Amino acid sequence: MEASTMARSLLTASPPLSGPRAHPEPLSSPPLRVHARFTRPISISNPKTSTSALRLEKINRFLTRCSLDWVETKADVPIEKRFPPFPAVMDINQIRNILPHRFPFLLVDRVIEYTPGHTAVGIKNVTINDNFFPGHFPERPIMPGVLMVEAMAQVGGLVMLQPEVGGSRENFFFAGIDKVRFRKPVIAGDTLVMRMTLIKLQKRFGIAKMEGKAYVGGDLVCEGEFLMATGSGSE
């Protein structure tokens, strides 16, 4: 009885506002609607207000329970099952049918994204068994920067040696590089993800300009501009 009397006295203590300022002006940084509804007092004489508040509270509890279930489920999954494999748009056999390179100089293991005549994303799995590690360097194995550039050029070749561009294995050459920067070392155990994008193609002169970027774990490790040329071996 005392609680209801106190509530009614609070509700009748201040007269309701009227006119254009009947509703309070919003703050400069208004809170989210859900939180704003919770800040409104629950009126005993207005069952709609209390019903809405209870409904929002139930929704909030449900979302919290779902988030906790998601965290527990993710934690229960072993780490070896949490990461999906890279997609295989082109496998190693398809790459060998396009590129003329062979061991030990074929530096692209898989293509995970390909847009004909525009871009390709390839990966190189760097392992301690690569033949360049014994000499570069014996005490600190690091993938040579020139081989990173060569691997990126081979990904670019997968774009250029396609009917959409007009190249072929017999008349395709790596003509030049510019603005190359090495950001971080690439070591054994890394997966080098390389994106090559065709920027400009001049079929009349057989010249193509490409932009290349290489990543390890989302970090940029190498970037540069590449010049590709098409023509006969005698030119």
Contact between 196 and 212 under an 8 Å Cβ cutoff? The reply is: yes
Q: How far apart are CA 88 and CA 86, in angstroms?
A: 6
Sequence-distant (6+) residues with CB within 8 A of 125 are 109, 191, 192
Q: Which two tokens stand for residue 14?
A: 């201040």
9 phi and psi angles, rounded to 5 deg: -65, -35
Q: How far apart are CA 32 and CA 107, in angstroms?
A: 52
Q: How far apart are CA 120 and CA 124, in angstroms?
A: 13
For CA atoms 103, 107, 113, 115, the dihedral sign is negative
Contact between 36 and 30 under an 8 Å Cβ cutoff? The reply is: yes
136 is catalytic: yes
Q: Which two tokens stand for residue 136?
A: 């570069």
Q: How far is CA 29 from each of CA 25, 38, 132, rounded to the nearest angstrom?
A: 11, 17, 58
Catalytic residue among 23, 101, 118, 136: 136
Q: How far is CA 196 from each of CA 39, 65, 187, 199, rounded to the nearest angstrom?
A: 53, 44, 21, 9
Give catalytic residue positions.
136
